[in-house]
Amino acid sequence: MIAKAREITFTIMDAIVDAIVIENLSKTYANGVKAVDGVTLKIKQGEIFGLLGPNGAGKSTTVRMLTTLTAPSGGGAQVAGCDIARDPSGVRARIGYVAQASGVDKWATGRENLALQARLMRVPSAEVESRVTRLLQWVRLEEAAQRIVKTYSGGMKRRLDLAMGLVNDPGVLFLDEPTTGLDPETRAALWSDLIRLRKERNLTVLITTHYLDEADRLCDRLAIIDKGKVVVEGTPAELKALIRGDTVSLEVGEEAPRAVDLLRSVAGVLQTLQDGATVIARVEQGATALPVLITALEKSGVAVRSATLGRPSLDDVYMHHTGHRFTGEAAK
């Protein structure tokens, strides 16, 4: 009897503590593309959670299912305590969503955009005015507030998007590549604002990004997804610790493909990868392996132009799990 009661308490506690519970979520589009393939994740209240992955990995599709815009073809999820399939309006009222592509009305002013969003989000009439003003200040758009959005720069539009996502004081905020196209200053400002919101209001944030430094600095935990599946999940530190050893990058020019083959057979090399004119090798002990690797290459006639030695970064974590380099992917 007591055990039973405790079990119930635990499930209730779980529901409160986990802002987002994703179970085996899948999506196959009408054209047969399997965009998301059995994603299972739990994101705690007050957590900033990052979703990383190459183009087409299924990040936006996952976010669109969690924000009730796209119906899953399998599995389910609870967001802010509401089931996305059974209580979509409950979800909508409790979340903020900033889509990958801007969603502002270009024929309305910044202020009008925010005011309408506030109305649609059921913000009490008496509060609309003050909340809009506060948000305009927050995203530094007071000056441009009366101008039509058509005249805004890309970064200004993005900032307005962010303000729109917060107009209902959401408990859970979904940000799909929010900082793409923002200048470094605004990016840094957004990070500190998100961290502040999390601290002050216990806001939960699910953010997708192509910037590893962003994920590293901002996220409490993150998941790397590839081809619709979660390949690894953990705190940035955990993920980096999972990767043994050091990384050695050797610039070898056109000989890179041959150099990769040569390095693969050197003892102590855990993993190799070619990145343009550079070969990257992960080794147990960078300092001792460096001369060994250079000698092995020079002996076979591959000239090494430069060498760098580093601790594994999130980039290496990413490379390890997806088999390609992140920066190269994002630059494409």
Partner 1 sequence: MNAFLSDTRHLLIRHLRTTIRIPIWIAVTIIQPVIWLTLYGQLFRRVVEIPGFGAASYIQFLTPGVVIMTALFGSAWAGMGILEDLTDGVMDRMLATPVSRAALITARVLHASVTVTAQSIIILLFGMALGARIPGGLPGFAAILLMGALLGAGFSALSNGLALVTRREETLIAVINFFGLPLTFMSTAFMAADLMPGWIRRIAGANPVNWAVDASRQAMLGGNWSEVVKTCLMLLGFALVSVWISTQAFRAYRRSS
Give whichever of 53 and 75 is closer to ligand ATP, judged by the CB atom: 53
Say how far apart CA 189 and CA 320 lie, in whole Å. 31
Among 100, 133, 180, 274, binds Mg ion (CB under 5 A): 100
29 binds ligand ATP, rule: CB under 6 A: yes
69 binds, among ligand ATP, partner 1, Mg ion, none (CB under 5 to 8 A by kind): partner 1
Among 56, 86, 106, 300, binds partner 1 (CB under 8 A): 106
Residues numbered 61 to 90 that lie near ligand ATP (CB under 6 A) are 61
Q: Helical H runs in 219-322? A: 236-242, 256-264, 286-299, 314-322
Among 27, 59, 92, 282, binds partner 1 (CB under 8 A): 92
117 binds partner 1, rule: CB under 8 A: yes
Residues numbered 29 to 68 that lie near Mg ion (CB under 5 A) are 59-60
Among 21, 25, 39, 60, binds ligand ATP (CB under 6 A): 60
11 binds ligand ATP, rule: CB under 6 A: no
CB atoms within 10 A of CB 310: 13
Among 53, 110, 170, 312, binds ligand ATP (CB under 6 A): 53
Single out the segment in contact with ligand ATP by CB under 6 A; choices: 55-63, 107-115, 167-175, 284-292: 55-63
Asked if residues 66 and 22 have their Cβ atoms less than 8 Å apart, the reply is yes
Q: Which amino acid is at 205?
A: V
DSSP 303: P
286-299 vs 256-264: helix crossing angle, rounded to 10: 120
- Return the beta strands (E) in the chain as ranges: 18-28, 34-44, 48-52, 74-79, 82-83, 95-98, 172-176, 204-208, 221-226, 229-234, 246-251, 269-275, 278-283, 306-310
